[in-house]
C-alpha cells in the first residue's frame, strides 16, 4: 500500500522516513519528494508497505504525530486523476481566436 506523508520537516531524509514507518512493519520504499530546481525537500513524501494491515496501523499511529516540530499528515496515497485529453495538442492546435486588433493569426 502506498502512503502519503505530508508536512514533513525539510530536514527529513528517505532514511529517516523509512525508520519512522519501519517500527510498524516491513517498508518496501520511502522517498521524500525533492524540488528539481532547488534540490530541497518539497515537504512531502511516500512510503510503500506491502502489508495493508501494517500500513493501516502505521497511518493511524503517525497521522498527526509531531516529528521534528511538524504535525504529520498521513493517509493512503490516492492516484493522481488523469485529465481528459483534448485534441490538437502542441502550439496552435485549438480554435482560432481573434486578437484585440480584430485580425486573425
Q: What is the CATH number of the domain that holds 16?
A: 3.30.70.330
Cα torsion 87, 91, 94, 95 to 10°: value is -170
| pLDDT at residue 5, as a whole number | 98
Mean pLDDT of the chain, nearest integer: 87
Q: Report the alpha-carbon distance of residue 51 to residue 19 in Å, rounded.
A: 16
- Helix, strand counts (H, E) of the chain: 2, 6
The answer to whether residue 81 is domain-embedded is no
Kindly state whether residue 48 falls inside one of the protein's structural domains.
yes
Our count of domains for the chain comes to 1
Task: State residue 23's pLDDT score.
Answer: 96
**Whole-prediction pTM:** 0.75
**Domain assignment of residue 99, yes or no:** no
Amino acid at each position: 500500500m502506498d502512503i502519503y506523508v505530508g508536512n514533513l520537516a525539510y530536514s527529513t531524509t528517505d532514511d529517516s522516513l523509512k525508520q519512522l514507518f519501519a517500527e510498524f512493519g516491513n517498508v518496501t520504499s520511502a522517498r521524500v519528494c525533492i524540488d528539481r530546481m532547488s534540490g530541497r525537500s518539497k515537504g512531502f513524501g511516500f512510503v510503500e508497505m506491502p502489508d495493508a494491515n501494517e500500513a493501516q496501523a502505521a497511518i493511524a499511529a503517525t497521522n498527526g504525530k509531531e516529528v521534528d516540530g511538524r504535525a504529520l499528515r498521513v493517509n493512503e496515497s490516492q492516484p493522481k486523476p488523469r485529465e481528459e485529453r483534448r485534441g490538437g495538442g502542441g502550439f496552435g492546435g485549438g480554435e482560432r481566436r481573434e486578437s484585440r486588433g480584430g485580425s486573425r493569426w
